[in-house]
Structure 1
Amino acid sequence: MLNWDHIFATRSSRMRASEIRELLKLLDRPDIISFAGGIPDPELFPDAEFKAAYAEIFGGPAVSAALQYSVSEGYRPLREWLAKQMAALGIPATVDNIFITSGSQQALDYLGKLFLSPKDTALVTWPTYLGALQAFNAYEPAYDQLNPGGNRTPEAYRQQAAEAGGRVKFAYLSADFANPTGETVDRAGRERVLDLAEELDVAVIEDAAYQSLRYDGEAIPPILALEIARKGDINSARTIYCGSFSKTLAPGLRVGWVCASEAVIRKLVLMKQAADLHSSTINQMAICTVAERGFDEQVAKIHKVYKHRRSAMLAALERYMPADVTWTKPEGGMFVWVTLPKGTDGAALLAKSIQTAKVAFVPGRAFFADGSGENTLRLSFSCANDKMIEEGIRRLGDLIRGEVAEAA
């Protein structure tokens, strides 16, 4: 068999299979209770609304445009609707500040390509979204820990980046109900990130995939909104807001967006022209139709269901987890982050859980750029009903209790 390794680019050595994608295969096993997939519940998709939207497109004069090549920036009516949504979040924007992507994952890939030269440093939280690490890894960066609540000096970041052979290029974070922890960065932490970015003269990539999924507490302005309040104009801002319809309307249509300075948008448009020309026009048109007619109602529907499941999971964790296990208490999103006693290996626990307890989750190590976090795991409640949550957390608690006792 041909050995391709010496032909592949060096960046290919940093490409790794997603542990989460592999775990999603377990969703097809009826004997497994899965808290692994961080995916929306398909029962909540607005399928009737999409059926009507596509029927209208195919039944009218818009079908020709829907099936034709289109502009790389994205479908203008959708960008106009998104500009209004951004304004409601405190982000005054025009269509020229909005760029449509094939899901927010494509935005992360493009931004990695745009900013990272080999050996440059990306600041990410510990832990962080696994998909971001996968997107950035192809551009051969170094990583350093971003801690919005910390007091590390800009000079310390500069020095470590120089030792790695490059310079800091951006700070990446999910400020609302982050994947994987479910945690939210408070306003003071967001302001500190902006201060750090100003000192380092770097971009801020704000991953807002879960921003719409708040169930409790007071909303906090997006980082981009806070920066615009400081500077008065989005085109003077260094924050790049990445949004998605995957968690609210439908992930399979692969429609996301970037809201940023026109200078950044222009570069992203050039990248898209070279990569895939434009996102699916017909899917953008359908998303726009469904969003215009009932986005708020759809969000309210999923809020009710996910809030209940979040609360059910937190209550089950209280009932069944050993005293030395801790977890986050998210105000929104899809995830609860569990920290096990020191010395417990989440990956080994998963292997045993699949065989005995028949419960799936995601071991936490994959979310750490430095490979730490072995005693952590991520639980998703979005696709789990009350019975699954009660039984699955009970089994998992029994398994962890047995592992802790055995280690002692």
Structure 2
Amino acid sequence: MSDAALLARAPRLARRASRMQASEIRELLKIIEQPGVISFAGGIPDPALFPVDVIRQHYSDILSDPVSAGRALQYSVSEGDADLRDWIVDHMRSRGVACSRDNILITSGSQQALEFTAKLFLSPGDTALVTAPTYLGALQAFAASEPVFQDLDVADIEATAAQVRTRSESDPSDCKFAYVVPDFANPSGETMDLAARRRLLDLAERLDIAIIEDSPYAALRYEGEPVAPIQALDLEGGRSIDESRVVFCGSFSKVFTPGMRLGWVCASRDLIRRLVLIKQSSDLNAPALNQMVVARLTADHFDRQAARAQAHYRAKRDAMLEALSQHMPAHARWSEPEGGMFIWLAAGAGIDTAALLPRAIEEARAAYVPGRAFYADGRTSDAMRLSFSLPDCAQIRAGVERLAELVRQAG
């Protein structure tokens, strides 16, 4: 049967299906998994850091006891494991967010938290404020709810507010939230300073919108002083978390392992109750066994594991920054992150990094993610996201040198 005939017989899909796009990064990873290609594409934790022996022991201990095994292999409450949520409560309090177990929902990775917030806040045609560039996974999670994306300029909240009002003259309530990755952002590597976080809170107050604070990299700080979470700033002056407009999304993937697929949301009890209903209609609960293992991991190993990750990735970041400084041509510019996994490189005006990527893979045998993937409107970009988390230092130096020669030729 021809393609045209198959399309003619295809069932009619929901309108949102047309907005579901394959992840440019996931598709790219399929191409570059070949010998000799040095990949700076995926923001993938280094398996050398995975505490395999400790994890194996926790699984064994839990499954060796009939009582804990029965609990671990059974359906569980949608809110999440009580011990794990209690650890998160203590963790959030250490960061300035006074909360209780009722303010925490365990999700299947923080990506699910983004999907759930989109379902909770967005109706078709609503406005979602996102930085430009922003995390591709967030754009995908939000897109199915059919929002209108608008650039969020935290440096100029007056301009952002004016654009929202212009766009929303018929219904000013249709702007629902501002989404940010405030610490070592994916993809830019930048960190919002304290003043920018306060400006964002001011904007949210003016527009009466929520803030989605996506913070998977906060534990990966290599230098400088930590900045208070936006949610903690929102609670200054004695405000209760149940009055907060900030929805905090956290993850265990970057410190421990992404394969456990566990993240969390910290928010007001009202929002958590609503998110729990979405969770129940989605997958009922995150895997109880994994939650019990991570509860034990966090209690005994979080600080130690975070310190290991910081030292490990700091060396890789330094190797990439040094290589960029040595080899990139003068017309290239790049971020110098204080933490996280990413460096954002602007190759130079007139260079389309999406068009350049096939040559990078075939000739330079090095891969990156084109900047275009991180803009809601898919605009042409001279930028590329470089992740230093997976290659070793020698591969980082070699890959950057190869890319630098390509950028020099393209410029």
What TM-score do you get using the length of structure 2 for normalisation?
0.96
Q: 1:297 aligns with which of 292, 300, 304?
A: 304
Q: Which amino acid in 2 is paired with 1:31? A: G
Does the CA-based 8 Å contact 1:50-1:290 persist in structure 2? yes
What's the counterpart of residue 337 of structure 1? 344
Are 2:44 and 1:39 equivalent residues in the alignment?
yes
Checking the alignment, whether the CA contact within 8 Å between 1:120 and 1:164 is kept in structure 2 is no
After TM superposition, list the pairs within 5 Å mapping 1:126-165 onto structure 2: 126-153=132-159, 154-162=161-169
**Corresponding residue for residue 376 of structure 1:** 383
Which amino acid is the alignment partner of residue 21 of structure 2? R
- Which residue, out of 113, 116, 127, partners 1:110? 116
> How do 1:213-252 and structure 2 match up within 5 A?
213-252=220-259
Counterpart secondary structure, 1:159: helix
Deviation at 1:211, TM superposition (A): 1.0
> Which residue number in structure 1 is paired with residue 99 of structure 2?
93
Q: Deviations over 1:201-249 (max 9, x none)?
A: 1100000011111111010000000001145211110000000001111
Report the CA distance between 1:24 and its aligned residue: 1.8
| Displacement of 1:372 | 1.9
Does residue 55 (structure 1) correspond to residue 60 (structure 2)? The answer is yes
Deviation at 1:156, TM superposition (A): 3.1
Matched, 1:270 2:277: yes
In structure 2, what is the equivalent of residue 15 of structure 1?
Answer: 20
- Distance in 2 between residues matched to 1:344 and 1:359, nearest whole Å: 17
Distance 2:152 2:162 in 1: 14
Q: Residue 349 of structure 1 aligns with which residue? A: 356
Residue 56 to residue 218, structure 1, CA distance change in 2 (3 Å): same
- The letter for the 1-side match of 2:187 is P
Regions of 4+ moved over 6 Å: 163-166
Q: How many residues align?
A: 404
Match of 2:84 in 1: 78
Match of residue 261 from structure 1: 268
In the alignment, is the contact (CA less than 8 A) between 1:158 and 1:167 conserved in 2? no
1:402 corresponds to which residue?
A: 409
Q: After TM superposition, give the deviation of residue 340 of structure 1 in Å.
A: 1.7
Look up the match of 1:386: 393
Q: For structure 2, list consecutive stretches of 5 or more residues without a partner in the other structure.
A: none
1:130 partner letter = L
Note if contact 1:26-1:32 (Cα within 8 Å) is conserved in structure 2. no
In 1, the alpha carbon distance for the partners of 2:368 and 2:116 equals 29
Q: Name structure 1 gaps, 5 residues minimum.
A: none
CA distance in 2, matches of 1:163, 1:39: 43
Match of 1:207 in 2: 214
Tell me which of 314, 318, 321 is aligned to 2:325: 318
Q: Which moved more, 1:48-57 or 1:223-232?
A: 223-232
Residues in 2 aligned to 1:389 and 1:180: alpha-carbon distance in whole angstroms:
18
State percent identity of aligned pairs. 50
Work out whether residues 121 and 166 of structure 1, in 8 Å CA contact, stay in contact via their aligned partners in 2: no
1:248-290 deviation digits (Å, cap 9, x = unpaired):
1110110000000001000000111111111100000011111
Describe the shift of the 1:163–1:319 C-alpha distance in structure 2 as closer, same or farther (beyond 3 A). farther
Q: Aligned partners of 2:271 and 2:167: how far apart in 1? A: 27
Q: Is the 8 A contact 1:177 1:330 kept in 2?
A: yes
3-state SS in 2 of match to 1:144: strand
Residue 198 (structure 2) aligned to one of 191, 196, 201: 191
**Aligned-partner residue type, residue 277 of structure 1:** L
AA at the equivalent of 2:242: N
Cα RMSD (Å):
1.4
Measured in 2, the distance between the counterparts of 1:8 and 1:389 equals: 44
Superimposed CA distance per residue, residues 155-190 of structure 1 (whole angstroms, 9 cap, x where no aligned partner): 431222347997100000000000001000000000
User: Alpha carbons of 1:91 and 1:239: their partners in 2 closer, same or farther (altered >3 Å)?
Assistant: same
Decide which of 69, 74, 82 is 1:68's aligned counterpart.
Answer: 74
Contact in 2 for aligned 1:36/1:362 (Cα 8 Å): yes
Q: In the alignment, is the contact (CA less than 8 A) between 1:175 and 1:206 conserved in 2?
A: yes
